[in-house]
Amino acid sequence: MMNDPRAEILRQAAQLFAQKGYVESSLSEVARSLNYSKGAIYNYFSSKQEIYDAIIIFTLTGLNDASAAAVKREDTPAEQLKQFMVAHARFLADNYDCFVTMLVGFSGMANTGLKDDALALRDAHEGLLRRIIADGVADGSFRAVGAAMTGRAVLSLLSWMVRWFKPGGDKSAEDVALEYHDLLVRGLVA
Amino acid sequence: MMNDPRAEILRQAAQLFAQKGYVESSLSEVARSLNYSKGAIYNYFSSKQEIYDAIIIFTLTGLNDASAAAVKREDTPAEQLKQFMVAHARFLADNYDCFVTMLVGFSGMANTGLKDDALALRDAHEGLLRRIIADGVADGSFRAVGAAMTGRAVLSLLSWMVRWFKPGGDKSAEDVALEYHDLLVRGLVA
């Protein structure tokens, strides 16, 4: 067994779900790929669904922590927006399989308590972003855009990366985030 | 049987796939919801997979036609970009279940010939958008942004709508597209 079997199981399961889809993956396959017995998995999770739910919570918690930490290091809303985007993109690249898993079935969480937790985490992440945008409008760094619509645009740019970005390619996730940030801040007008 | 049974089958199947997922939907359910016999379905499609593949081609063909027609009516790249975005968003809202189906399993097409067709359609749509952006840079309407990166940003904004936009709500798809267009063109800088 590895140092943190629970984390290992989540990582391996996310890889399998991302490749084959949730429905077509089995707990036995997760166990086999880790050289665990199925019984060893049951020490940590009682079902495939429980693993799925745990992946979603792990991913959203990590995403929140990463963006909050990045934002805390900056003083101005303008710089906070940039670092929020970079941190989100980097976390997505580092946990790519988890984001693929989440994309395919966020609404598929079985544990309603955990589903509420997931929605709260998602709202906290979006809430931090809206706060940054509203602060930037208030201090004159940004023009008077709506925080909800603009936050949604930022998260759309970052979230769609799971559909085309491949970690380890020519361009890093941070590069993509910085390009999007520049486009968003400066706009298209000549 | 309805006027265009083939289109009806696709529409009904897309609704089912969007609600239950592809793997968990059956051809029998599609037939039942249309009051068709399973045999009647087989007059048009030989398998669930064939219906899935046809939904993807139908959706991408319609998206291409809609954006190309909207762009053709405009003379300037600046106005073409706006109408491209509005047409894409409107087509997504009008064919919401098809886009949900496509989101979940674009890579899941079985017929490799049709998969090549799908990729060609996707590239044509993105190619038109890149052409508009490059033209706008060339005629001085837009600053010197990269057409590939900017096109990707535009398509990310529009594509992610399938994850949050609900047709028939307070805000129309066209409204969303116009807000995104304004944000993208004018940027955030005050």
Q: Give the list of residues 6+ apart from residue B77 with CB closer than 8 angstroms, or none.
A: B132, B133, B135, B136, B139, B141, B142
Positive/negative CA dihedral, A23, A28, A29, A30: positive
Structure confidence at residue A105 (pLDDT): 63
Tell me which residue range forms the domain holding A112. 49-186
Minimum CA–CA partner of A103 in chain B: B104
Residue among B185, B188, B189 whose CB faces A188 most closely: B185
Q: What is the DSSP letter of B108?
A: G
CA distance B147 to B134: 6
Please write the tens of the pLDDT for every residue from B47-62: 999 999 999 999 999 9
Q: Would A36 be classed as within a structural domain?
A: no
Structure confidence at residue B108 (pLDDT): 67
Q: Would A62 be classed as within a structural domain?
A: yes
Q: Does A190 touch chain B (CB under 8 A)?
A: yes
Q: Would B27 be classed as within a structural domain?
A: no
Q: Would B11 be classed as within a structural domain?
A: no
Please report, in angstroms and rounded to a whole number, the separation of the first and last CA atoms in chain B.
58
- How many percent of chain B have pLDDT more than 70? 97
Q: Does B124 touch chain A (CB under 8 A)?
A: no
Q: What is the CATH number of the domain that holds A105?
A: 1.10.357.10
The distance of A1 to chain B (nearest Cα, Å) reads 33
Confidence check: pLDDT of B105 > 80: no
Q: Would A6 be classed as within a structural domain?
A: no
Mean pLDDT lowest for which of A111-115, B10-14, B122-126?
A111-115
Structure confidence at residue B22 (pLDDT): 83
Q: Would B8 be classed as within a structural domain?
A: no
Q: CA neighbours within 13 Å on the CB side: how many for A116?
A: 2
Whether A189 sits inside 8 A of B187 (CB atoms) is: yes
Q: Would A92 be classed as within a structural domain?
A: yes
CA distance A67 to A70: 5
Interface of A with B in 104-123 (CB under 8 A): 104-105
Whether A153 sits inside 8 A of B23 (CB atoms) is: no
Burial (CB count <10 Å: 0-12, 13-18, 19+), residue A126: middle
Q: Which residues of chain A have pLDDT under 70?
A: 1-2, 105-108
Structure confidence at residue A25 (pLDDT): 87
CA distance A111 to A48: 12
Q: What is the DSSP letter of B189?
A: B
Instruction: Judge if ipTM > 0.85.
Output: yes
Residue among A136, A146, A190 whose CB faces B143 most closely: A190
Residue among A82, A67, A70 at smallest CA distance from A178 = A82
Confidence check: pLDDT of B104 > 60: yes
Distances (CA, A) of A26 to A30, A45, A71, B50, B56: 7, 13, 39, 26, 28
Q: Does B178 touch chain A (CB under 8 A)?
A: no
Whether B188 sits inside 8 A of A161 (CB atoms) is: no
Whether B187 sits inside 8 A of A190 (CB atoms) is: no
Residue among B142, B157, B161 whose CB faces A190 most closely: B142
Minimum CA–CA partner of B178 in chain A: A149
Give the number of domains in chain A: 1
Positive/negative CA dihedral, B16, B105, A15, A159: negative
Q: CA neighbours within 13 Å on the CB side: how many for A136?
A: 27
Q: Would B29 be classed as within a structural domain?
A: no
Whether B189 sits inside 8 A of A188 (CB atoms) is: no
